Amino acid sequence: MILSFALIWFVAAALSGLVFRATGAPGLRAAGREAVGMFRPLVIRLPCALLAAAFLMQIVPLDLVSRLIGAESAMPGLLAAAALGAFLPGGPMVVFPVAVVFQQAGAGAPQLVALVVGWSVFDLNRLLTYEVPVMSGRFAALRTLSCLALPVLAGLGAQLFLAL
C-alpha cells in the first residue's frame, strides 16, 4: 500500500516537472484546476461507496462467499465469480468496494480477479444500455462470445502467478 502510494506521488512529481518545463506555471495551474474538477465527484461518491461496502460486510453471509468463491473453490469458484461479475451493477465506485467485501469474506485472489474481469468485460448494464443499441445486437453477441473465456483465463493466470 505504501509502495503504491509512493509510486503514484513519484509519477505525479515527475509529470509536474515535465509540465512545468513544457508550459511553465500556467500549465501547472491548469493541471491543478483539472485535478480539482476530477476530485470533486469522488469526494461525495467514494465515502458513500465505502460506507455501503461496510454495511454490506455486515449482511453478506461470509460462509457462503468463502464456499462459493473462496481460495479452495477452484474452477467452479472462478466460473461463479466471473458470472457474478457480469451481473454486478454500476461502475468502479460500486464494484471495487463490493470486491473488498468479498475479499474480507474469504474470496480467493484468483476468484476476485475473475470477478473484476467478468464485470469489466461483460457488464450487462453497459451491454444492454449502450452496446446493443449503438453497435447492434449482432456485434454485442460477437464480442461477448469471443470474450467468454477471459475472466476464467485471468483467474487461472492469477493462480499461476500466486504459485510462483
DSSP secondary structure of 115-159:
HHHHHHHH-HHHIIIIIHHHH-HHHHHHHHHHTTTHHHHHHHHHH
What pLDDT score does 138 carry? 96
Residues 6+ apart with CB under 8 A from 4: none
pLDDT at 1: 65
For residue 23, give the C-alpha cell: 508550459
> Can you list the residues of the chain whose pLDDT is less than 70?
1
| pLDDT for residue 79 | 96
pLDDT at res. 137: 94
For 102-128, the pLDDT digits (tens) are 998 899 999 999 999 999 999 888 888
The pLDDT, as a whole number, for residue 57 is 76
Angle subtended at Cα 59 by Cα 96 and Cα 53, rounded to the nearest 5 degrees: 25
